[in-house]
Amino acid sequence: MKKDVIIPLVIGTLICVVGLVFGGFAVVEPQLVKADATSTTVTLTVGEEVSLTVSTSTVAMSPNITMTQDSSIGSCSWTVTTNAQAGYTLDLHADDANCLDCAATSEYFTDATTTKNTWSNLVDVDSYIFGFSVYGDDVGGWGTGSSCGTGGTPSATLHYSGFNSTNNIQVASSTSETSQTGTATTMCVAAEQGSNVYAPDGTYTTTITGTAAAQ
């Protein structure tokens, strides 16, 4: 009789212990599978840069001015490349007043007025003058031409100006970054002797400096 009683008690005890273990696991286990979240911030700085190149280091005006050839023209392109979101400005300045001069004789071409006008309206019959114009996608207020002229004759549709000594003259600007190939501005230079005078012979030179800056 005792034997019959003991066995059920042992089995019951085991069932209770196992129940407690698995029951406890069922209570604790959900705590182990709960999720947690956090985050990180990724930061990238894009540095602002601007680059300026010129198509040639020497502009040879053509044709030569002679007793039978009164005018001459030349050109080069200034290309600005920038990632500045606000865009850029392009300025030009000469190395001196009446900048196109002959070092050997101290003769010079007089700077055209800084009030822009067509070339024919700037020419003085009693003077020999030098001036410039520009054209390009980011240029405004310099006429409507897209060529510097032909055969030594300056464009009739561009507006020209004299350089203002070493003072910067803004010739182009934008309000956004450029493409990776940049934006070109063509500078046209022109010189002419008036119908009543001859420009003294010699080699005349000047240095024009371009400056590009982010807005």
Q: Is the predicted pLDDT of residue 16 greater than 90, yes or no?
A: no
Q: What is the pLDDT of residues 23-52, one digit of tens each?
A: 554 455 555 669 999 999 999 999 999 999
Region 144-167 average pLDDT: 97
At residue 29, the pLDDT reads 54
DSSP 108: B
Q: What is the pLDDT of residues 169-185, one digit of tens each?
A: 999 999 999 999 999 99
Distance in angstroms (rounded) separating the CA atoms of residues 103 and 202: 9
At residue 105, the pLDDT reads 98
Q: Is the predicted pLDDT of residue 118 greater than 60, yes or no?
A: yes
The number of helix segments (H) and strand segments (E) in the chain equals: 2, 12
At residue 26, what is the residue type?
A
For the chain, give the mean pLDDT.
90
- The answer to whether 184 touches 77, Cβ cutoff 8 Å, is yes
Residue 21 banded pLDDT, cuts 50, 70, 90: very low
At 5 the three-state DSSP class reads: helix
Copy the structure tokens of residue 53: 């190149």
Concatenated DSSP letters of 169-207: EEEEE-SS---TT-EEEEEEEEEEE-TT--PPSS--B--
* Residue-wise burial string across 134-159, b where 16 or more C-beta atoms lie within 10 A, e elsewhere: bbbebbeebbebeebbeebbbbebbb
Region 106-135 average pLDDT: 98
State which H helix or E strand residue 163 sits in.
none
At residue 30, the pLDDT reads 55
At residue 22, the pLDDT reads 47
Which position has the higher pLDDT, 23 or 90?
90
At residue 80, the pLDDT reads 99
Which position has the higher pLDDT, 14 or 71?
71
Least confident of 18-22, 100-104, 205-209: 18-22
Q: Is the predicted pLDDT of residue 1 greater than 60, yes or no?
A: no
At residue 32, the pLDDT reads 63
Other beta carbons within 10 angstroms of residue 33's beta carbon come to 6
